[in-house]
Homo-oligomer: A and B are copies of this chain.
Amino acid sequence: MKIAVAKGDGIGPEIMQAVLDIFTANKVPIEYEYVDMGKWVFDKGYSNGMTPEAQQTIEDLGILFKGPMETPKGKGVKSVNVTARKTWNTYANKRVFQTLHGVDTVFSKAGIPIDLTIVRENIEDTYGGIEHMLTHDVALSRRFITRPGSLQVIKYAFEMASKNGSKRITCGHKANIMKITDGLFLEVFYEVAKEYPHLKADDVIVDDLCMKLVSRPQEFDVVVLTNLQGDIVSDLCAGLVGGLGFAPSANIGDHICIFEAVHGTAPDIAGKNIANPTALLLSGIAMLRHLGMMENAATIENALLYTLESGVHTGDFGDKSIPSVNTTVFANAIISNLGKTPTHGARPMLPNQPATQTVFKLEENPMIMSKEPEDELIVGVDMFIESSEQPMVIAEKCLLHVGDVFKLVTISNRGTQVWPKGSVFTNMVNQYSARFESVGGAAVTQTDILELYRALMADFKICSTELLNKWGDKNAYSLAQGQ
């Protein structure tokens, strides 16, 4: 078994060394192939933060174990961490948060045990980074949620929850506001739930979830969320167990998986051999389980828990009355505790399993798609136009150009209807949406849309357009606020 290892920037190399030393001491049957990724690779001129050789090696081996990495600021380059997750389609980010005895938190002091798994969608949402300025005042980020993308992560979450004997799986969402996007995610969640009748599946609005997580976190078991909400909730949960220094992260895809520490590179303490390797070690342990090396995983995790319980700690945590140790001493303490069993939360010695991962070559990009609806019609278009005039003036101009095919239905500004009726108190920005629907709900063609565009162009700058689709008798678009 061979995996790719990227040591990372800052404290990356020294905490990776500590983890691999522990693996070696436990005779973990893995070989490591080191790859070039991170800040120094950007600095060499590779705009995605990795060399082509690194990319090839990772794609050949299918598993990347990585230290924290830095993306240079202000050069317009995108985060190497996000690029890795997206390019290799690691659609699920799994993060396990558990109370560690020896790591004091507000919750450990209150005697509240934490044992939570957050599964975050890892590809979609505003993380697509598709952003445009529509006018000099109006910025737009396209937040997309797809059915097959949601299906991938939700199926993973249910499968994982089922395998781990979880009792409850909860969908966090904001479908009360984002009815179409988060509504889709929630719909897919309950569709998949039907295949797992032994799991209690429910949902919670994300703000309510966060309120509950800071008061009664023990009520939750597995929570699955869209990307940004999952990002926020994951870090909140990291705070419950002591911070990112104690929170592992696994990025799961069908072909390639990435196990990494998500904390920073801590350049201020880099090279001093004082960094805390716990999060990277926990990520490594998750990788061992993923590879079916259950005995190694349990032995090393028990040694870590035993060491933390015994009060050994690096400078960033632990009982201040006990002197802190450096990274090497911390790792050696864990090595010397291999085979010991902690008092709290000892992991069971499960038999080794086959690796869940199968690496295979792809000939072309997988197109993930669900069944198409039987009847699909275009019934109109939203035209996003730049103007600083009053709604009535916009309406008059639109009505001048509307023709016979379409009718002007509503004009809104920042999502709130301002024509045909609205409130004079609604403040407006210089970007309106004018909604044109076909007369009598008839199907229209792209040529009809084009002709409307041509007509409106005479009076407006059209920043953006969105087709209005109808599937069966269901409108595939939202109403304006107040419409």
Per-residue interface assignment for chain A, residues 455 to 483, with 1 indicating a CB less than 8 Å from any chain B CB and 0 otherwise: 00100011111111101000011111110
Q: Which of A322-374 contact B (CB under 8 A)?
A: 362-370, 372-373
Across the A-B interface, the 4 shortest Cβ-Cβ residue pairs: A128-B415, A133-B476, A131-B180, A207-B235
Q: Which of A419-462 contact B (CB under 8 A)?
A: 422-431, 433, 446-447, 450, 453-454, 457, 461-462
Whether a CB of chain B sits under 8 angstroms from the CB of A220 is: no
Per-residue interface assignment for chain A, residues 133 to 154, with 1 indicating a CB less than 8 Å from any chain B CB and 0 otherwise: 1101111111111111100100
> Given A367-B390, A367-B428, A464-B464, 8 other A-B contacts at CB below 8 A?
A78-B482, A86-B415, A87-B422, A87-B425, A210-B210, A211-B238, A365-B391, A367-B430
Which of A82, A134, A365 has the most CB atoms of chain B within a 10 A radius of its CB? A365
Say which residue of B131, B207, B368, B431 sits within 8 Å of A231 (CB atoms). Answer: B207
Contact B143 A142 (CB under 8 A): yes
Name the residue of chain B whose CB is nearest to the CB of A130.
B415
**Min CB–CB distance A434 → chain B (angstroms):** 13
Whether a CB of chain B sits under 8 angstroms from the CB of A198 is: no
Which of A126, A133, A229, A468 has the most CB atoms of chain B within a 10 A radius of its CB? A133
Q: Which of A379-423 contact B (CB under 8 A)?
A: 382, 388, 390-391, 412-416, 418, 422-423
Whether a CB of chain B sits under 8 angstroms from the CB of A200 is: no
A186 to B41, CA, bound (A): 29
**Min CB–CB distance A119 → chain B (angstroms):** 16
**Min CB–CB distance A429 → chain B (angstroms):** 5
Contact B211 A214 (CB under 8 A): no
**Min CB–CB distance A222 → chain B (angstroms):** 19
Contact B370 A477 (CB under 8 A): no
Number of interface residues of A (CB under 8 A): 137
Sampled A-B contacts (13; CB under 8 Å): A86-B415, A106-B106, A126-B178, A130-B415, A132-B466, A132-B477, A133-B471, A134-B144, A140-B142, A211-B236, A365-B422, A365-B425, A367-B427
A243 to B83, CA, bound (A): 38
Contact A467 B112 (CB under 8 A): no
Number of copies: 2
Which of chain B's residues have a CB closer than 8 A to the CB of A370?
A: 136-137
Name the residue of chain B whose CB is nearest to the CB of A176.
B79
| Interface residues of A, Cβ cutoff 8 Å to B | 48, 55, 59, 76, 78-79, 82-83, 86-89, 91, 105-107, 109-110, 112, 123-124, 126-134, 136-149, 152, 174, 176-181, 183-184, 206-208, 210-215, 228-229, 231-236, 238-240, 242-244, 253-256, 362-370, 372-373, 376, 382, 388, 390-391, 412-416, 418, 422-431, 433, 446-447, 450, 453-454, 457, 461-469, 471, 476-482
Name the residue of chain B whose CB is nearest to the CB of A445.
B457
A228 to B382, CA, bound (A): 24
Which of chain B's residues have a CB closer than 8 A to the CB of A110?
A: 106, 109-110
Name the residue of chain B whose CB is nearest to the CB of A415.
B128
Say which residue of B55, B233, B412, B469 sits within 8 Å of A133 (CB atoms). Answer: B469
**Min CB–CB distance A439 → chain B (angstroms):** 21
In the complex with contacts A132-B477, A178-B131, A414-B106 CB distance below 8 A: no
